[in-house]
Amino acid sequence: MAEITAALVKELRERTGEGMMDCKKALTKADGDIEKAIDDMRASGAIKAAKKAGNVAAEGAISVKVAEDGKSAVILEVNSQTDFLALQDDFKNFVTSSIDKAFAEKLTDAAPLIASQESAREALVAKVGENVNIRRLARVEGDVVNAYLHGNKIGVVVVLKGGDADLARDIAMHVAASNPEFLLPTEVSAEAIEREKAVFMGLNEDKIKGKPAEIVEKMVGGRIQKFLAEASLVEQAFVKDPEIKVGALAKKAGAEIVSFTRFQVGEGIEKPVDNFAEEVAAQVAASKQ
């Protein structure tokens, strides 16, 4: 049996990023052969990564990259299990390498990026002990393209016809803050309008009761107009100057808003709710067995 020295453990730890005890165990199993220990740890890491893939990852970061010519951009969401990991260099480096690859290869959706980054993802999961997922990716192109990133949690890319990069960024900032569902009122679906009507009628049942049909119709119509203004980007009051609507702001600058893409970390992901009391009780019960 080869001697497992502190220097050997230190070297393996530096090369793999694993804990000291894990490194010592791997070296012992590999009879002091550091290259074999690394291979074994990588294989084990892939297994760990596969097991971690079942854990819900609803935290993470949004990243945006805009072309130097302002004609295209890529926006990416990568998820982690905890917000703490999203702030660590290992995670940030993975996000950066992922968006750089997507940008360089002009990828338009996440599937090919997920495939090409799987080995790097598995290595990261094995190192940090958390599930990490590339969730979604979008690439946009246009006459004028710019973006706004709010911390690492919300990212927006806006495409304009006419105007300039500063205007596109201002509108992207507005979208980040106001979260419109649609670009234009005409894009609001009939289903969304009917849903809003139903909500209004339900919340105002007492006010509506006994009123003439034409009065009720006016009340519902007023609510729908308000809904269309709230849900449509061009009809919203601009966050920097509420006296002007976003659509009018763009028109004043000789521009037209073509599209916007907004990503927010974890939106739509169902997060598990931990019951701390039940967890402690379960641990106590297990300790008594």
pLDDT tens digits for the chain (289 residues)? Answer: 678 888 888 887 766 656 678 788 888 988 888 888 877 876 666 445 555 555 678 899 999 999 999 999 999 999 999 899 999 999 999 999 999 999 999 999 999 999 999 999 999 998 888 889 999 999 999 999 999 999 999 999 999 999 999 999 999 999 999 999 999 988 888 888 888 888 888 778 777 777 887 887 888 888 888 888 888 999 999 999 999 999 999 999 999 999 999 999 999 887 755 554 554 555 555 545 5
Q: Residue 3: its pLDDT value, please?
A: 83
What b-and-e string marks burial along 40-71, b requiring 16 or more CB atoms within 10 Å of the CB? Answer: bbeeebbebbeebeeeebbbbbbbbbbeeebe
- Domains of the chain (ranges; CATH) run 6-52 (1.10.8.10), 55-141 (3.30.479.20), 144-179+241-267 (3.30.479.20), 189-231 (no CATH)
- Please report, as a single letter, which amino acid is at residue 92: K
Angle at 13 between CA 11 and CA 17, to 5 degrees: 135
Q: Residue 115: its pLDDT value, please?
A: 94
Can you tell me the distance from the alpha carbon of 176 to that of 62, in angstroms, rounded to the nearest whole number?
12
Quick check: helix, strand or coil at residue 210?
coil
Q: Residue 47: its pLDDT value, please?
A: 45
Cβ contact 232:260 at 8 Å: no
**pTM of the predicted model over 0.75:** no
User: Strand 241-245 vs strand 237-238: parallel, antiparallel, or unpaired?
Assistant: antiparallel
Cβ contact 212:232 at 8 Å: no
Q: Residue 4: its pLDDT value, please?
A: 87
